[in-house]
Amino acid sequence: MAEVHGKTGRVQLAASSGAAELDVNVSDWKIRRETEYARARTFDTASGIKTERKYAGFTKDSGSFEGFMISGTGVIFSTLDGTTGTATFTSGDATAYVGIIVLANVEVSNPVDDLAKFTADFEVEGVWTDPA
């Protein structure tokens, strides 16, 4: 399992009308990269040699992020678990990781100056555009 992390990004959850329902300016993020492998085994009865090959399959990327809300229109935070949104995470060398994520374990607090701090875990849904 590989891990990538960074300090900047943006997560947007769009309403069915297309207007942003929630916009979070990300200040810290982490992506855990996992790949499922399929194994193919063969056994040659004449020589007695057993071979095994691994083939890369689907990826199961997940991660977490935290940041401060830029805007939120009609957001009911208790219903955000399971919501999909578009995420753009940028690493220190300006490499962008972009994709659709599904939110889980959403927490909102306002620790300083009435700013809403937003933390969540996520799973990547579908294709994840990255430099790898």
- Asked if 19 contacts 73 with a C-beta cutoff of 8 angstroms, the reply is yes
Q: Is residue 42, in this structure, part of any structural domain at all?
A: no
Mean pLDDT score, 94-117: 80
CATH of the domain at 97: 2.40.10
Is a pLDDT exceeding 80 seen at residue 120? yes
Number of domains in the chain: 1
**Cα–Cα distance for residue pair 115/129, rounded to 1 Å:** 31
Task: Tell me if 39 is assigned to some domain.
Answer: no
Tally of residues, the chain: 132
DSSP 8-state class, residue 113: T
Closest CA to 66 of 2, 126, 6: 6
For residue 70, the enclosing domain spans 2-34+59-127
Write the single-letter amino acid at 114. D
Q: Which residue has the higher pLDDT, 7 or 14?
A: 7
Do the domain assignments include residue 41? Answer: no
Distance of CA 12 to the CA centre of its chain: 13
Q: What is the pLDDT of residues 66-80, one digit of tens each?
A: 888 776 655 666 677
Q: DSSP of 28-55, one letter per residue?
A: EEEEEE-EEEEEEEEEETTTTEEEEEEE
The more confident residue out of 115 and 76 is: 115
The 10s digit of each residue's pLDDT in 71-104 is 665 566 667 788 888 888 887 777 788 888 888 8
Look at residue 7 and tell me if it is in a domain. Answer: yes
**Residue 3 exposure: Cα atoms within 13 Å on the Cβ side:** 6
